[in-house]
Structure 1
């Protein structure tokens, strides 16, 4: 049992029943501290079945619903608002800290961020709503209070934390929040004086701008960053090649979005997409084996995933399906769950575009098994499920209503 998700469900249903933590503790004959630790996923041991059964009884729901309620997988709006509020704090916004406490050591910041980024790559996006505010505050204070090399390293961690905020906001469907975080990440990256961090922040901002309907600006920004930073990145080995390659991959998706939105010469705009993908392929070949330096998952396999996504963006579903089919299974399975589930969601979109709607349902169900939040919580995937309901899916029709229900879509 996932303690964090179980705790989220308990808190969700306790709030639905309008019970305070103290009132629920009294019903359970436990302390308020016990409830706080349970809901925060901090209990050292998973609750046994008898405890879970009693919790369900006190909350007036079935045990099955307590153990697996897909709606609770998704972040509450209050949690996303907490991230917005953290970004709007005076100390986080200005980078100034008048507090007397010692700043968190950079090594501790790195460990905290590693834990959160690992969760993201495992496909756990909702939990970031409670982790990111603390990360932002700690990293901002560290950048304000440290000096010398430690300050530069703290700015790098602040930029990477803001990148994570941007990536989570994309998953949550909040492009405005993503752009805000992405812009802040670029500023912090410049303060770090590290071209690796600068390139990493630039690729995330390009992604956010594309999602926010600013694809042309995203292409211009990403390609300018790549041109400016390329000489230094090429001297930084596989890590430099990885962030440079990812910057070009993000530019390729932005260019595909430009072509899709162009009413006058979409074909001309689309012809620029393969060139960007090919450049990224060249860097991937130089890196060699697929890697995950600085959480890029960069290599020939991830570059192929972006080629699939570009075809989908261009509404070339059959081409997307063909490229997806050519990706080696072992290489794909070596990627983080988030990447694999993202590919499956893209493939399902391509299959839908190609009229393969039965296959699209099967692909979505496969993605759900791999990373439920990628399917049940992301707005773009939920829209696809709704489209499939309207279009009809032949022999897969019987499996679609249950998937739509798990997505929280109205019947």
Structure 2
């Protein structure tokens, strides 16, 4: 194993153990500079076995696991999803009433840093770690919203709504649409109490996503469009953040319309013809924004609109059109998006390739997505279904080995 690969594995497992570089250096009996050089692959020569064994022991894994060809990806455990569910079902979180102790609520800035850290992890494709982060966020934000006063209280409601949005987004990745729906409804309620139209629109787009994934696509389209109409003037006055969340509402409307078309054969055409209209409306706001950006974790801009065009074609089983839409996205533009969004696009494109009969291309596209964000492929039920379908349909011998190994990493039977 070369020094670069060893450094990559050290960095991965140190992060998984939530260990700082300084802490790892202390445990290894080395300097911080040594750890930095190892993780950057700047140490000369292959690592010796004694270093590998000691590093593995400090990281609580076997040496063989540390030097494996493929980094393990740990998916969220059911117990962690249950912990999130229990937090949502707590009396204080539901009612917004917490204890009367004299303990001070967390400052708004502290809450914001915690939320930013968790959201950054999500956009990097690290969904499993949210199972332990979200419950504390929900409880702390609820308590802050009750105990703070004035502007701090409004800010706390903003952060509570955004924390519930994160819960919804993580639940979608975990494949739990019921949990996502509960969190989405709560996010909208908290957003209304924040009195901030940008937060209201942001919560509405997440609830629309949850409703669509829970089989309520037509209602989702109506809800997000009503939200866009109600909030549009305020959002346009709000500037770039407002343009971003308004555009996202129309993107979610497009996906909801596509899902409604798939679910309603008798009215397929009625729903389907609305999809390009909503995408064009989103594109108008992307043009107004004038760039790709990640304001309020939306990843919104012209490139994300193109990503949603791919997703909409896939939802409508228009695989060839999805492939063509994906080809319209340049590599530099795509690389400006967070890893989660890029991997999501690749997973969509792979499904489009499967629909179009390009199964070997789909395998390679999924492998590219896995390299970016392993959990998007190995852990997300939706993407695992694509892998399973590729197995059932079969691929040419040149791709069979790669597919078999990918299926094994996804925990699928061979």
After superposition, the C-alpha distances for 1:163-197 in whole angstroms (9 at most, x for unaligned) are 00000000000000000000000000000000000
Structure 1 stretches of 4+ with a deviation exceeding 6 A read 2-5, 65-71
1:45 to 24, 37, 40: 24
Query: What is the DSSP-based 3-state SS (H/G/I as helix, E as strand, rest coil) of the residue aligned with 2:24?
Result: coil
**Alignment of 1:79 onto 2:86:** no
Does the CA-based 8 Å contact 1:79-1:129 persist in structure 2? yes
Q: Distance in 2 between matches of 1:54 and 1:164?
A: 34
Does the CA-based 8 Å contact 2:53-2:63 persist in structure 1? no
After superposition, the C-alpha distances for 1:258-290 in whole angstroms (9 at most, x for unaligned) are 001112131222001110000000110110011
Q: Distance in 2 between matches of 1:70 and 1:215?
A: 37
Query: What is the DSSP-based 3-state SS (H/G/I as helix, E as strand, rest coil) of the residue aligned with 1:125?
Result: coil
Cα RMSD, aligned residues only: 2.0
**Shift of residue 67, structure 1, vs aligned partner:** 6.4
Does the CA-based 8 Å contact 2:9-2:67 persist in structure 1? no
Residue equivalent to 2:3 = none
Query: What is the DSSP-based 3-state SS (H/G/I as helix, E as strand, rest coil) of the residue aligned with 2:237?
Result: coil
Does the CA-based 8 Å contact 1:8-1:72 persist in structure 2? no
Query: What is the DSSP-based 3-state SS (H/G/I as helix, E as strand, rest coil) of the residue aligned with 2:325?
Result: helix
* Cα 1:3/1:62, change in 2 over 3 Å: closer
**Shift of residue 71, structure 1, vs aligned partner:** 6.5
**Alignment of 1:307 onto 2:309:** yes
Q: Distance in 2 between matches of 1:7 and 1:378?
A: 23
Q: Distance in 2 between matches of 1:177 and 1:69?
A: 32
**Alignment of 1:119 onto 2:121:** yes
Q: Distance in 2 between matches of 1:72 and 1:8?
A: 12
After superposition, the C-alpha distances for 1:280-308 in whole angstroms (9 at most, x for unaligned) are 00110110011111011110000000010
Q: Distance in 2 between matches of 1:337 and 1:6?
A: 19
Residue equivalent to 2:103 = 101
Following superposition of structure 1 onto structure 2, how do residues 114-193 of structure 1 map, counting pairs within 5 Å?
114-193=116-195
Q: Distance in 2 between matches of 1:72 and 1:78?
A: 17
* Cα 1:377/1:71, change in 2 over 3 Å: farther
Q: Distance in 1 between matches of 2:9 and 2:96?
A: 36
**Alignment of 1:243 onto 2:245:** yes
Residue equivalent to 1:293 = 295
Query: What is the DSSP-based 3-state SS (H/G/I as helix, E as strand, rest coil) of the residue aligned with 1:264?
Result: helix
1:199 to 201, 209, 215: 201
How many corresponding residue pairs? 380
Q: Distance in 1 between matches of 2:334 and 2:72?
A: 29
After superposition, the C-alpha distances for 1:55-104 in whole angstroms (9 at most, x for unaligned) are 79x97x66227868866520111111111111111211111112321011
Query: What is the DSSP-based 3-state SS (H/G/I as helix, E as strand, rest coil) of the residue aligned with 2:127?
Result: coil
2:373 to 371, 374, 380: 371
Q: Distance in 1 between matches of 2:86 and 2:13?
A: 26
TM-score, L = length of structure 1 = 0.88
**Shift of residue 4, structure 1, vs aligned partner:** 9.3
Does the CA-based 8 Å contact 2:201-2:231 persist in structure 1? yes
**Shift of residue 118, structure 1, vs aligned partner:** 0.7
Query: What is the DSSP-based 3-state SS (H/G/I as helix, E as strand, rest coil) of the residue aligned with 1:298?
Result: coil
Residue equivalent to 1:279 = 281
**Shift of residue 5, structure 1, vs aligned partner:** 6.3
Does the CA-based 8 Å contact 1:70-1:406 persist in structure 2? no
* Cα 1:291/1:72, change in 2 over 3 Å: closer
* Cα 1:284/1:353, change in 2 over 3 Å: same
Where structure 2 has 5 or more consecutive residues not aligned to the other structure, the ranges are 1-7, 29-51
* Cα 1:292/1:216, change in 2 over 3 Å: same
